[in-house]
A and B are shown apart, each in its own frame.
Chain A
Amino acid sequence: MSLEDSVRLIVEELLKGMEKEKIQSSNNKLPLANSSIIDECEITDLAEIDLQRYLQVPNPVNKELYEEMKLSTPARIGVWRSGPRPLTDTLLRFRADHAVAQDSVLGEVPEEFPAKYNMVSIQTLCKSKDEYLTRPDLGRKLDEENLEILRKGCLKGAMVQIIVSDGLSSKAVEANIPNLLPALTQGLEGMGVKLGIPIFVRNGRVAVMDTIGEELKPEVAVILIGERPGLGTAESMSAYMGYNPRLGMVESERTVISNIHKGGTPAAEAGAHLASLIKKILDARASGVNLE
């Protein structure tokens, strides 16, 4: 028997064995498949599970310590494994959270949202989300038509101009503005600050503040903008503040407060904090590193 023949023989033997196994295992699988159809109605939404309280390690040696560690961080620690791979629900939850983040970037703030908060609504040069993501420069500019809306609808030379923009998370705007805006307005008005008409900018970048500043000449502009979402939260918002906002202002002239969301600084408290920070900027006539 040549070497080639003996190899062929071995392969044939193996194939036969595998065939047999296949038939056996598919016989075994049948009842399993049925039961999973029945269970389907009772499947819980993975995204509903509070990951920090979800203990996946079976029979932990020190459950209390494990719980404490899980609660100390939103990171996905102690998720157990199946062989060298993550468990199915770990993987699915990861993908679900990733999907939430993507939805938040690509989603739109509802049409009626700006009017509900008495905001003047405008749009940057970006006509679509794709263009917004690929052309950051256009997210900072306004065309003549939108500038005209500003001239007609807004006050010129206000002490503080509030701007709200979807930025990279439409969800952040929807989640935080209803609590942040009234707190910010109340705080500023309580300190005797005169506010302009707030503006909503669709597809905006932070520096759209400069373009608006050039047009309306407020003393201070503050832009409340959705942050790039992560797997932890898709609802985080930042506030960038600039004294004397104008074209050509440098990034170091902006003061920023980030991480405004339920798990960070709560929106209402952030609004109150921003009010006193803006008052400080008005008093010092400077923002960003010049304020320190």
Chain B
Amino acid sequence: MAKEMTLVSVGIDVGTTTTQLVISQLTLVNVMPGSQVPKVEITHKSISYMGKVHFTPFEDRRHVDGTALRKIVAKEYEKAGVKPEQIDTGAIIITGETAKKENASEIIHSLADYAGDFVVATAGPDLESMIAGKGSGAEALSKRLHACIANIDIGGGTTNIAYFDRGKCIGTACINVGGRLFEVDPISHRLTYVSSPAQKIMNYCNPNNNQISNGNDLVLIKNCLNSMVECVERVIFQEPLLPQDNYLVMTNLLPDVKIDGVVFSGGVAKYIYLPGIKEWWIHGDVGPLLAEAFQESRINKSLPVHEGAETIHATVLGAGAHTVNVSGSTITVSEHTLPIRNVPAVYPELDMTGKFSWLKDAENYTDSLYRTVALIVPTLPNTDFQTILSLAETLACELPLIKGEPKVIIAQQDIAKVLGQTLQRLLPASPLVCLDGIELAFGDFLDIAKPLPYQDAVPVIVKTLIFAR
């Protein structure tokens, strides 16, 4: 019998310029026929509520206004008709320039606690780039076209690039190029604020610091923006960076591959797809001018440009609907052990006798910050009972030496249930969470939710990425 399960997922994106919230419904179904071992997949994602685009509230240039931010979320929840208790999962992502504010981390964690039982707080330019590419539809497009597609998400503070090769994210970059690095007065069109990365580029473009006279602002801004877009070009076309680019490139982990097309997303993308706006000052920033510069760029002219499913909402949609994975259905979970958050993935090394040992890597996480660690079982040469038994024996020796409960083990092959049952026999007193079916990489952190109704599978959120290291 096909029993459908739904998860209510929230995505909140606190960006440089705007804060947005969406609520989506994820439908989970056992996709296997009744006579086979179940496999739960997310079969459908639908947006049930799309919030207004709010300006991100700031106390001053260095502090996010936490109280005002919480009010925005509370108001949007009310409008959507949901209570924080009803939210099953989701993510809050603090992005762009906002992530650099002094109280960013504190604000976002308290907001995550308020927003729902299992909403994760995340930040980090690489994750943001990937989430934006998923939300914009670039990931799906690359899968459909069997091609390598670059998603370029141009926001207020940063441009986040992610490459998707046939549905798989293969690299990201984050560049300090955004529409709100310069702010202007909508009436006089004069500069009112220049952010620190923008100031550095301005110093480069205008080294003599010429007196800015009326009307010269526009020319100067345009020069700066062109210089910024050229930097993005150099990153994408794998050209040597110039000295001034170092002020802008925050992270660059893009592989040297041929890309078959680009998708633009983020607030600025709208003006790339719909050019020709006369009142460039309407938002009090230089977004439309930046779009113009991208329009003239080699990126737009020499690569096929695809239109994604979303532009300004890409990141928030990605955060809400694309952060959750589902584990395999044959797993072992002791009662009352879940949910758990922020579990670091611990990788083993091979010892002299060819056995795995996790002890050394586990020592990196003895901090009281981590309740427990997740031991990763690499791919085994076979899944015979004997192989699993000897693996379980090794684990049973090491698990009592590794601090924290429940004991979490993540296997790369479909063996979580038999491995878990073997461990329960060897270590009957230890609460255990043994999962499979989750793709992980070195340096990942996991949040594991409560098991789904009807099925043993658990939703899992994987944070940070392999190429972030």
A→B interface (CB under 8 Å):
62, 64-65, 68, 178-180, 182-183, 186-187, 190, 238, 256-259, 264-273, 275-276, 292
Contact A266 B414 (CB under 8 A): yes
The answer to the question of B350 belonging to the interface, with a C-beta cut-off of 8 Å to chain A, is: no
Contact A68 B166 (CB under 8 A): yes
Q: Contact partner of B418 among A183, A256, A257, CB < 8 A? A: A183
Residues of B within 8 Å of A257, CB to CB, are 35-37
Q: Contact partner of A183 among B146, B385, B424, CB < 8 A? A: B385
Q: Mark B21-45, 1 if CB is under 8 A from A, else 0.
A: 0000000000000011100000000
Give the CA-CA distance A177 to B425 in the complex, in Å.
21
Contact A258 B36 (CB under 8 A): yes
Residues of B within 8 Å of A190, CB to CB, are 421, 424-425
Give the CA-CA distance A199 to B299 in the complex, in Å.
70
The contact sample of 28 A-B pairs, CB cut-off 8 A, is A68-B146, A179-B384, A179-B385, A180-B385, A183-B388, A186-B425, A190-B424, A257-B35, A257-B37, A258-B35, A264-B36, A265-B36, A266-B414, A268-B384, A268-B385, A268-B418, A269-B330, A269-B415, A269-B417, A269-B418, A270-B37, A271-B385, A271-B418, A272-B417, A272-B420, A272-B421, A273-B330, A292-B1
B window 393-443: CB within 8 A of A = 413-418, 420-422, 424-425
| Chain B residue nearest in CB terms to A183 | B418
Give the CA-CA distance A267 to B385 in the complex, in Å.
8
Residues of A within 8 Å of B413, CB to CB, are 266
- Give the secondary structure class of A's interface: helix
Given contacts A179-B385, A190-B421, A292-B1, contact A268 B415 (CB under 8 A): yes
| Chain A residue nearest in CB terms to B386 | A179
Give the CA-CA distance A182 to B418 in the complex, in Å.
10
Residues of A within 8 Å of B388, CB to CB, are 183, 268
**Nearest Cβ on chain A to B61's Cβ, whole angstroms:** 49
B window 159-215: CB within 8 A of A = 166
| Chain A residue nearest in CB terms to B32 | A259
B→A interface (CB under 8 Å):
1, 35-37, 146, 166, 330, 383-386, 388-389, 413-418, 420-422, 424-425
Contact A256 B35 (CB under 8 A): yes
Contact A178 B146 (CB under 8 A): no
Contact A186 B417 (CB under 8 A): no
Residues of A within 8 Å of B384, CB to CB, are 178-179, 268
Contact B35 A266 (CB under 8 A): no
Give the CA-CA distance A272 to B146 in the complex, in Å.
38
Give the CA-CA distance A200 to B87 in the complex, in Å.
52
| Chain A residue nearest in CB terms to B436 | A269
**Nearest Cβ on chain B to A272's Cβ, whole angstroms:** 4
| Chain B residue nearest in CB terms to A180 | B385
| Chain B residue nearest in CB terms to A69 | B146
Residues of B within 8 Å of A275, CB to CB, are 421
**Nearest Cβ on chain B to A284's Cβ, whole angstroms:** 14
Given contacts A183-B421, A190-B421, contact A268 B36 (CB under 8 A): no
| Chain B residue nearest in CB terms to A289 | B1
Residues of B within 8 Å of A238, CB to CB, are 35
Contact B35 A272 (CB under 8 A): no
Give the CA-CA distance A292 to B166 in the complex, in Å.
39
**Residue picked from A238, A266, A292, most chain B C-beta under 10 Å:** A266
Residues of B within 8 Å of A64, CB to CB, are 146
Residues of B within 8 Å of A259, CB to CB, are 35-37
16 further A-B contacts with Cβ under 8 Å, apart from A65-B146, A179-B386, A259-B37, are: A179-B383, A183-B421, A186-B421, A187-B421, A258-B35, A265-B36, A266-B413, A266-B414, A267-B383, A268-B385, A269-B330, A269-B415, A269-B417, A270-B37, A271-B418, A272-B420
Give the CA-CA distance A267 to B421 in the complex, in Å.
14
Residues of A within 8 Å of B330, CB to CB, are 265, 269, 272-273
**Nearest Cβ on chain A to B391's Cβ, whole angstroms:** 11
| Chain A residue nearest in CB terms to B417 | A272
Residues of A within 8 Å of B417, CB to CB, are 269, 272-273, 276
Residues of A within 8 Å of B415, CB to CB, are 266, 268-269
**Nearest Cβ on chain B to A267's Cβ, whole angstroms:** 8
The 9 A-B pairs of least Cβ separation, nearest first, read: A272-B418, A272-B417, A266-B383, A179-B385, A268-B385, A268-B418, A265-B37, A258-B35, A273-B330
Residues of A within 8 Å of B1, CB to CB, are 292
**Nearest Cβ on chain A to B56's Cβ, whole angstroms:** 42
| Chain B residue nearest in CB terms to A179 | B385
Residues of B within 8 Å of A292, CB to CB, are 1
Give the CA-CA distance A179 to B388 in the complex, in Å.
10
Residues of A within 8 Å of B166, CB to CB, are 68
Give the CA-CA distance A64 to B422 in the complex, in Å.
41
Residues of A within 8 Å of B425, CB to CB, are 186, 190
**Residue picked from A65, A186, A267, most chain B C-beta under 10 Å:** A186
**Nearest Cβ on chain A to B337's Cβ, whole angstroms:** 17
Residues of B within 8 Å of A183, CB to CB, are 385, 388, 418, 421
Residues of A within 8 Å of B424, CB to CB, are 190
**Nearest Cβ on chain B to A158's Cβ, whole angstroms:** 20
Residues of A within 8 Å of B421, CB to CB, are 183, 186-187, 190, 272, 275
Give the CA-CA distance A68 to B415 in the complex, in Å.
25
Contact B146 A273 (CB under 8 A): no
Residues of B within 8 Å of A68, CB to CB, are 146, 166
Contact B36 A182 (CB under 8 A): no
Given contacts A190-B421, A268-B418, contact A273 B383 (CB under 8 A): no
Residues of A within 8 Å of B389, CB to CB, are 182
Residues of B within 8 Å of A178, CB to CB, are 384-385
**Residue picked from B384, B385, B388, most chain A C-beta under 10 Å:** B385
Contact B146 A265 (CB under 8 A): no
Give the CA-CA distance A265 to B166 in the complex, in Å.
27
Residues of B within 8 Å of A256, CB to CB, are 35
Contact B422 A186 (CB under 8 A): yes
Residues of A within 8 Å of B385, CB to CB, are 178-180, 182-183, 267-268, 271
Give the CA-CA distance A154 to B424 in the complex, in Å.
29
Q: Contact partner of A265 among B386, B414, B416, CB < 8 A? A: B414
Give the CA-CA distance A104 to B1 in the complex, in Å.
33
**Nearest Cβ on chain A to B422's Cβ, whole angstroms:** 7
**Nearest Cβ on chain B to A230's Cβ, whole angstroms:** 15
| Chain B residue nearest in CB terms to A189 | B425
